[in-house]
Amino acid sequence: MAQMQPKSIAVFNSNDIYPISADSVLPFEQHRDIFYLSGADQEETILLLFPDAIDKKHREILFVTETNDHIAVWEGAKLTKEQGTEVSGIQTIYWLSDFDKVFFNLMTEADTIYFNTNEHYRQAVVNETREDRFIKKTKEQYPAHKVAKSNPILQEIRGIKEPEELELMQTACNITGKGFRRLLGFVKPGVWEHEIEAELIHEFIRNRSKGFAYPPIIASGNNANVLHYLENNKACKDGDLILMDVAAEYANYSSDLTRTIPVNGKFTKRQKEVYEAVLRVKKDATKLLVPGMLWAEYHKECGNLMTSELLALGLLDKADVQNENPDRPAYKKYFMHGTSHHIGLNTHDYGELKKPMQANMVFTVEPGIYIPEEGFGIRLEDDVVIQEKGEPFNLMGNIPIEAEEIESLMNA
């Protein structure tokens, strides 16, 4: 609210419940912006912020669906007005059916309306959202009002995590660690990828996670060279590696882990050679995440680190590097994705990418080397918090990653 223009209103809508077919719907997931700002984790909810409202009680309003006995029996009771205040800290709670009337009254006092558009750099949404419908309707009904964007404000404030957020993210990482340790005693030749997925979901849910923070990737052998492999339906063979990009959510906050382990509990000499190269890049890339670092420069440095390792592994030669296309560096043949992204309420979270990094931003660090011709790919990933001084704090520091420790635990 402190960053809003004078005489302006900002509105944030909950997500839709998305249909599958017949009477089936997907499980509800709250829009992360309204959840971040209000704590309201319920469908058909609207948050309205109007710092300059004449009536002070209208400076923060939460609109929720009016509950009744029928809803309580069939779906479970929704938030009462008192519970709306308890969840959000907002004193003024209205029923959703009053929104149009209240909104019209407040828009007569306002000059500008802030719309919450999705401007995430990875967004690829093709369906019309509840937010989209609200924007379209409001532009038609209030054509004389100026329009502003909420997203730049949200990118800035959501990118820097509060202590309470870091605590929840640590819990998500701890649950993920429990799942990974469970696997180290379970994986052996002949196990199926989906059986590994089942072990993980069991451990996550029994620790009060809703489940996976994102679709799990459990990729054995050459499947690891498909970056978004999601089938998880192949048998794990003796001598192969398994790349597992799997992590738990907790209280809507994501963790994001990748580990690569040997099916039979023992890396081959070549596998370990590549593994250690990836681990070195991860450790060195982590040290670069400090306040003041620029996103573009960071990824350029990570590319240099990877280039050195690929040369040492014999995957690139000096001519490859000397003759590389600056827009497509030679290392991209074996490491084709970025090294880090913001993480928080979204796995690929909001956060500034064009301004210097700041303390309490949380990033993944996830280098990888993918070698289809050798039948394996290796990626390693942890989640780290940028500190005011010194190296980032690793939220996954207690999860095994050294090759010798993984071998030891698998053969215990």
- Kindly list the catalytic residues: 23, 228, 245, 256, 337, 341, 348, 366, 370, 379, 381
Rounded Cα–Cα distance for residues 294 and 84 (Å): 40
Contact 49, 4 (CB under 8 A): yes
Rounded Cα–Cα distance for residues 153 and 160 (Å): 12
Place of tokens 């309306």: 113
Contact 188, 265 (CB under 8 A): yes
Rounded Cα–Cα distance for residues 270 and 133 (Å): 55
Rounded Cα–Cα distance for residues 111 and 7 (Å): 6
